[in-house]
Amino acid sequence: MGELRQTELVVIGAGPGGYAAAFRAADLGKKVLLIDRDPELGGVCLNRGCIPSKALLHISKVMDEATNLKRMGVKYGKPKININQIRDHKNKIVSQLNSGLTQMANARKVEVIQGLASFISNTELKIQTETGNVSVAFGQCIVAGGSTSALIPGAPKEHPSVITSRTALDLEDIPERLLVIGGGVIGLELGQVYAAIGAKVSVVEYLPNLLPGTDLDLVKPLQRKLKKQCEFIQVSSKVTKVEPNKDSTLTVTIKNEKGSSTEVFNKVLVSVGRKPNTGLLNIEATDVKVNDHGFIQADAYQRTSVKNIFAIGDIIGYPMLAHKATHEGKVAAEVASGHPAAFDVRAIPSVVYTDPEVAWAGLTETNAKENNIPYEKGEFPWSASGKAIAMGINQGKTKILFDPETKRVLGVGIVGPGAGDMITEGALAIEMGADAEDISLTVHPHPTLSETVGLAAEVFTGTITDLYLQNR
């Protein structure tokens, strides 16, 4: 039967949402038990996603910047890649952050158990650990079970040359040719990393455009960059077969309107989205409702259909973003502790950490057109930004969507280096109900990239002097 434990609050999953929930609940006086399959806290984001990928993307961006300096009269020799040292650098960063989380858990007296948690009932869990099973009776539970990389039919699951976002960052070697299946956020980020360290990268995307759902004008500068970095990019195309060869390479069949073709790659990165981990939880043993896609249904208070069970993060649906999960985790902890709280946001910013970065918050033009939402916009091209020109990055853009009647900000989109840092001003403007004048009259420092936000608002209000607009 195993050991029987009791706890006031149990949190399943120690990713950004899970540890935030556990730490906040502990700060509010709860006795908390935190469970995760991995030996280290932080989940996919810290250990195999957000953080290690950004460490590697930073390397690739600096290398690209150094190469581009030759246009300004500064020339460096060809970089020497030490894959082992790069991997060690990435691992060191992850380890440092892991250690910080462990210290914070200990300081808050949050008990951590490594194991696979699954439900027995609405009030009891089973934890499979290396030393045996542990049963936990709980008063309340916060489910932060996360998600897993989805695979495609026809691709061998266990072949060492077929990698996912989970294994791509291990950087065991530099493949001569790498195929990225899926032109979404993760695929393009990791593709750029591998291209920077010397792999010949190709991308196949099933839908007509890269970064599906993202405004095309924001994608175009990135697409231009990728075409220079990649062997080929095929959209509206489908990988129908991945066949292993004797030398560990893979023969890939790609089908589109022009017909079928085959290519041989050293590695194939499958990046076609993620699926919730509800299948690992034995959720059927509870009265928690799950939708047709396997996501747990939760309300604005992060409550499920069972009053003592809450759910947050990837496991409740899109957008699957760490910062969303963190805020949801705090809400769940506060509601569980009897405090008034709700996840009530107008805008969740999204960032693609490619080079150039693509970021947006609130309403997009794509979404507005699909749903017949009226809007007006102001946009400022970085080709007119002194700072961008000085940096040699003048292909960016900042645009703001406004309500035609109230002139309030509905959405913001930015493409260019540092877009991920700049988008916060847009998210804040939406949350605070700022209008065009609020932004245009806010004094932005010059010369900066962030002033393009104010200048985009000036374009809309007609007060812009950094551009000449006819028929204003």
Q: What angle do CA 62, 326, 285 make, to 5 degrees?
A: 125
Distance CA 23, CA 108 (A): 7
- Measured in whole angstroms, how far is the alpha carbon of residue 131 from the centre of its chain? 34
Distance CA 238, CA 151 (A): 13
Which residues lie below 8 Å from residue 151, measured CB to CB, with a gap of 6+? 157, 164, 270, 272
Per-residue 3-state assignment (H helix, E strand, C coil) for the chain: CCEEEEEEEEEECCCHHHHHHHHHHHHCCCCEEEEECCCCCCHHHHHHCHHHHHHHHHHHHHHHHHHHHHHHCCCCCCCCCCHHHHHHHHHHHHHHHHHHHHHHHHHCCCEEEECEEEEEECCEEEEEECCEEEEEEEEEEEECCCEEECCCCCCCCCCCCEECHHHHCCCCCCCCEEEEECCCHHHHHHHHHHHHCCCEEEEECCCCCCCCCCCHHHHHHHHHHHHHHEEEEECCCEEEEEEECCCCCEEEEEEECCEEEEEEECEEEECCCEEEHHHHCCHHHCCCCECCCCCECCCCCCECCCCCEEECHHHHCCCCCHHHHHHHHHHHHHHHCCCCCCCCCCCCCEEECCCCCEEEEECCHHHHHHCCCCCEEEEEEHHHCHHHHHHCCCCCEEEEEECCCCCEEEEEEEECCCHHHHHHHHHHHHHCCCEHHHHHCCCCCCCCCCHHHHHHHHHHHCCCCCCCCCCC
Q: Which two tokens stand for residue 63?
A: 């290398």
The verdict on whether 446 is a catalytic residue reads yes
Q: Could you give the angle at which helices 185-196 and 216-229 cross, rounded to 10 degrees?
A: 30
Q: Which of 58, 293, 339, 446 is catalytic?
A: 446
For the annotated catalytic residues, the residue numbers are 446
